[in-house]
Structure 1
Amino acid sequence: MTYNLFTLSFTGEWEHLEPEFIKSHFRESLTRIRVAVLIAMFFYSIFGFLDAMIVPDQKLMFWAIRYAVICPIALWVLWFSFRPGFETYAQPCLFFMCLSGGLGIELMVILADPPASYSYYAGIILIFITSYTFIRMRFLWAVACSWLIVAGYEIGAIWIADTPRIMLINNNFFFVSANILCMLAGYSMELNTRKRFFSGFKLEQEKNKVNRINRELDQRVKERTLALSTANEQLTKEIRDRISSEKSRIKLEKELNRKHRLEAIGTLAGGIAHDFNNILAAVIGYSELSLASLDKSSDEYANTKEILQAGMRAKDLIRQILTFSRQGERKTEPVQLGKVVTEALKLIRASIPAGIDILQDIKSTALIIGDEGELHRIVMNLCTNAYHAMENEKGTIEVRVEDTMLDQEILQAGEPMAPGNYVILTVGDTGQGMTPDIVEKIFDPFFTTKSVDHGTGMGLSVVHGIVKQYNGTIRVYSEPGQGTTFVIYLPMAHTDTGPDPEEVFTPPPGTERIMVVDDEETLVHMVQKYLSSLGYTVKEFNNSLEAVAYFSDHPDEFDLILTDFNMPGLTGLELSEKIQGIRKDIPIVLCTGYSKNITWEKLRSVGIRTFLMKPVTQYALSTTLRDILDHG
C-alpha cells in the first residue's frame, strides 16, 4: 500500500482507491457522526452549569454563545446529516461545527474576567479530542480545524485579553501539547482505517479469485462427473437392453455434437478473429485500391468488385460469429431488426434438430435504436426456449418481424405503451405451453421449468431487461398444449436511412504526416499506398520497437500515429504509452482484429483517441483519421 505521508491519500497504483475510500469512510461513519454530534452538543450544553458557578455575572452572555449559536449549529449539522447532500459536504460541516465550538470557547476566555478566563482553555482540549478521534473528521480537516483554533487562542490571549505571560505559557504548553498528541492519535486512527480498507480491498480481490477458481473447479468436476455418469448409464443399459442402449447413445451423441459445435464457435471466434481479420484487411484494402485505379466499365473492375464484396461478406460473417460468442463491443445505434433476425436464424438453424421447422416472415426494414449483439441474444434466447418446449424434437417455430402504428395508448397486462410507430418481433412455437401461474414467473431471474442441463433460468430475464432498456414491451400468450408466443414491441427509430455512405463516398484528402505501425508488412504497404494517394505523408514501420526509437528521435515529424494492437515487441497499448511519454499531444488511433480485452478506460489511459476493428474499409479509415486530425 502506497500513500502520502502527510495527507494519507492513496498514491501510485492505488490512487484510484481514494474516492472509494472516502465513500466507505462516510458510510461507516455516518451513524457515529450523528451520535457524536448529539454527545458533543450535550457536553457543550451542560458546561453552562460551570458558567453559572465560575462567571455568574457573565453567564447570560456565555449561555447565548452556547445555546443561541453553537448548539443551533450542531443541531443544523445533525439535521443536514439526514439530507442527500450531506455525503458531499460532511467534512466541511464537521469542520465548521468544531471550529465554531473552539472559537466560542475562546470568545468566553476573552470575555471572562481573570482568574476565571485562565481555566477555560481546557475546553479547547476537549474540542481537539472531539475533532481528531470522536466525530470522525478526516485527518487533514481535523488538523486545519485545530490549528485555526490554536491561532484564534493566540490572537485573543495576546492582543485582546490581558493574559499574564506565565499563564499564557502554561496554557499554551498544555493545549499545544494536547493538539500534537491528538494529531498523532488522529493520524494513527485514519492510517489504521485506511490499512483496514486496503486489506479489505485486497481480501475481496483474493476472495473473487478464489471464487472464480472454485467455480472453474466445480465446473470441471461436474463435467467429469457427468461424463462418468453417462458412461456408466450407457454400460448398464447396454447390458440390460442393447437396442435401448443404442438409441440412447445416438441421442447423446447428437446432443454432445450440438453443444460442441456451439462451444467451438465461441472458443475459436476470438482465436481466429485477429489473424483472419488481418487477411481480410489486405483483401479488402487492396481491392479498394484497385477499384480506385480501374475503369468502371472494364471486366477487371467488375471482377475486383466481386472480390471486395466477397471480402465484406467474410467480414460480416466474422462479426456474426463474434456477436454470437459475445465478444463484440456494446454499441447503441440505428439497427435494422429484420436483418439481425435473419442473421440469428442462420445460426440457430444449425443448432436445433432437423425435425423442428423454422418459419421466417420478415416484413419490416425499419430501424430501431439498440445494440446488434443484444438484439441477437434476444432472438437466440427466444428461439432456444421455443426449441426446448418441443418434447419430441418436432414442431414449428414461427418468427415474424413487422411494423405497426399505435394511435392510442394500449394497456394490457400492466404494460402501457405510448402511441407511435413500433417494430414487432413475434416468436411462436407449437410446444407444450404454460399455465398462467408459470407465465407470471418466467421473467424472474433463475426461474425455469427446464431440466438442469437445459438452462439456468436467466435467458428470459435477460431478454426482459434488454427490452425494457429499449423502452419496449414484451407480452406472452400461452396455454397448456397450445404452444407459446412472445410478442416484443420496440419503438421505431426516427432515422432516415438514406443511401449507403460508402456507395457515394469521396475520401477526404489530407497533407498531414502519419506514422503507420503494424507487424503485417502487407497491411503496412497497403495503408501506406492508400493514405499516400490521399496526399498524406506516411512513414511505415513493421517493428514496434523501431517505431518508438524513431519517434523518440523525431517527435515533431508526425501529426498522427496509426498502430496495430497485437504485435511482437510492444503491443499497441504499450507503444501508445511510450509515445505519449515522449509527446503528450500526438493523437493515436488503434487498429485491431480482436477487441475482447480492450476497454475505453485502457485506451484513454494511454492516450488513444479511438480504435477501428479490422478489416478497416477505406471509408472508415479515411473519415476517422480526418475527424481526429480536424477535431481531435
Structure 2
Amino acid sequence: MTRTLSMDDLTAENKLLREKLRLLENEKEVWRKTQFIANAADQLLTMIDRKYTYESVNQAYCRARGQRHEDVIGKSVAAVWGQTQFDSIIKPKLDHCFAGNVTSSEDWFKFDGRELRCYQVTYNPYRDDSGQVTHAVVVTHDITARKHAEAGMKKANDRLERRVQERTEALEQANNQLRNEIEERKRVEKALRESEDRYRSVSRDMPAMVCRYLPNGDLTFANIRFKNHFQLSDKTLLDFNVFTFIPDNERQRMKNRLQRLRPEKPMVIYEQCTRTEIGDILWRQWTDRALFDEKGHAMEYQSVIIDITEKKNVESKLQQAQKMEAIGTLAGGIAHDFNNLLMGIQGNISLMYLDVNHCHPLYENIHSIEQLVDSGANLTRQLLGFARGGKYVVKPVNLNEVVTETAALFGRTRKSIRIHETYEPNVRMVSADRGQIEQVLINLYLNAWQAMSEKGDLYLETQNVTIDEKFVKPFEINYGDYVRISVTDTGKGIDPTISHRIFDPFFTTKEFGCGSGLGLASVFGIVKNHDGIVDFESHPGRGTTFSVYLPVSQKTSKEPAPAPKGILKGPETILLVDDESYILDIGVKMLEKMGYTVIKASCGNDAIRVFTDFRQKIDLVILDLIMPDIGGGDVFDRLRTIRPDIKVLLASGYSMGDAAAIISRGCNGFIQKPFGMEKLSHAIREVIDNGHHQPAV
C-alpha cells in the first residue's frame, strides 16, 4: 500500500534536500577552484588510462589542440597524435610511467595542421587506494599556451540551475528532481575529489612557487614549494598576506599591475629584483593571473614565481665580457698609436746617445727623457695588458712558485698585512708569460691592500680544478682542467653599484692622482689573452675574493740563453717598411749607424714593389704590422710567395699576441715598439744569424 505524504512531510523533506543541495553547492565551489588551479596553469595537463585512452585534459591542452574536451576525451593517444608519433615517442614513456616511474623528456610534436613545436613532457604515475598505477598524469609545458576560461564548467552549471528553476510545478515533482540532482552531485563530488588529488600531485611537482590570494593579499592556497620557502604550515597559511614579503619599493607597483588586469587580458609577466639580509641579489619571474566574476570584478589572483637569479648572473657576465672586448679594442688602438709616438722619441734618444757621453751637459736631460719614454711604455704595456693581454714569452709555469715569490715580495713591503698561503701539493703546469702573471698577482695584492685600509688578512690559495661547459659559457673559452689562484681579502668589499665597472680601464675609486685605474683592467686583459677567466665574489663589509683560472699545460720548461750586451752591427741590406714617416726616417738613421744598407718603403704596396725589384739583394725585412693599404700579415704572405727564404722581423705598437698568427706561419721574429738601438740590433742579429729569436719586448 503506497503511503501518501502529507504537506508537512513534503515540506520537511524539501527543506532537508535543499540543505543538502546547499552543501553540494559549497562542494561545487571547491571543485571549481580546484579546476581553476589546473586550468590557470600554462602547462598542458592530461590523464591517460592504461588502455592509452585520454580520460581527462585541461583547458590549456584543448587550446593548444584547437579542440573541445569531447573531441579528445575517450579517444586513444594514437588517434590524436598519429600512430608514428605514438609508437616512436609517446608509448615508450607511458609504459615506463605505468611501471611506476616518473619520466621527463623534451620531444618535438606536430599538432594537426600546425607547425612543429618542442614540449617538455613529464609523465607521473597515478595510483589508486590500493597502490596500483591506474593512470598517467602527463604535464606538458608549452610556452605559448594560454588558459581559456572554464567555459565548460560554467555551461554545465547554468544548465543545472535552469533545471532546478524549471521544477516548480509541483512539490512532489520538485522533490523527485532534487533526489536526482543529489545523486548527480554525489557523482560529481567523487569525481572532484579524484581530480583534486591528481592536480595536487601536479602542483606539488611544479618547479615553481604557486600561490592564490584575495585582492587584499590574504593567502587562500599555496603549493609545497611556496610553503617550504616561507616556512608556512597549514595552520598559519590563512594568516599569511602575500604583500608582506614584497619589498616596500615594489609593493605598490605590484598592486597597480594587479588592478590593471582585465578579463580580456587577465595575465601579466614581469621580473622582480630583491636583496637578502646579507646583501645577495635575487631575481624572480612573476606570472600573475586574475579570476573574474560575471561582472568583471577580480575575485582572486594566482601567482607563479620562478627563481631566475642564475640566468640573470649568466647574462650579466656575458654582457660584461662583450663590453670588455669592445673597450679592449679601443684601448689597444690607443696604445698602438702612443707606442708609435714613443718610438720616434726613443729612436732619436738612441741616436743622441751615440754622440753624447756621461760628461756631456745634456746627458742627464737625455736620460730623463728616456726615463719618461720608459714610463710611457709601461703605461701602454698596461693598456695592452688589458686590450691584448700582453702575452709575450710563453712557457710552462708552476703557479705555486709564482704565487710564493710574489707573496714574499709583497709581504716585505706591506708588513701590516698577514698573508695566509694554501697551495695545491701537486699543482699542474700552465702555459703562461711568467712576468705577466706576476703583474696580475701584484695588482691583485695591491687592490686587496687598498681595500683593507692597509691592514688585514690576505688569503692566497692554488687548486687544480675542472670546470664545466655551463661555467665557461659567458667567457667564451674551453671547459676542462684549470689551475685556480684565489686572492681573498678581509676588506670593505665592492659596492654592488660599481661591481660591473671594476675591470673598466681608467675606472678607479681612488682620489684624483692616486691611481691610473689600469690595475684590474690589465689583470682582465692578461688573463683573457691566456685563455683564462678572472672572476670575483664580494660581500660589502666582509671582503672580496678574486679567482684567476688558467688552463693546464703538458709542456716542459726550457730556460732561454742570456742575451748579449751592447749594440750589434752588420753589413747586410735591410728593407724597412712603416707607414709613419717619422718612424721610417728615424729607423733608417738607426740602421745606418749599425752599418746596414737600408731600403725603405712607406706602405704595403710600396714594400711589395721594392722587394720585387731587389729581392736577391735584401737580407732582412723589418715589417710594420698595421698599415692602411695592405696589412703586415698580407704583405708577409706575398713576400714569402716571391721569395720563400726571406727573413722577416715584425715591428708593431701592438703586443706579440696580435702577431701570433703571422709568427705561426713562419715569420722569424717580433719586436714591440718603442725600442732603442741596442734592443733592435739584438733582434736583427738573432733573426739573421739564427733564423729565429725570442721576441723582444
Same fold flag (TM > 0.5): no
Q: Which has the higher helix share?
A: 1
Greater percentage in strand: 2
Structure with bigger gyration radius? 2
TM-score (norm 1): 0.39
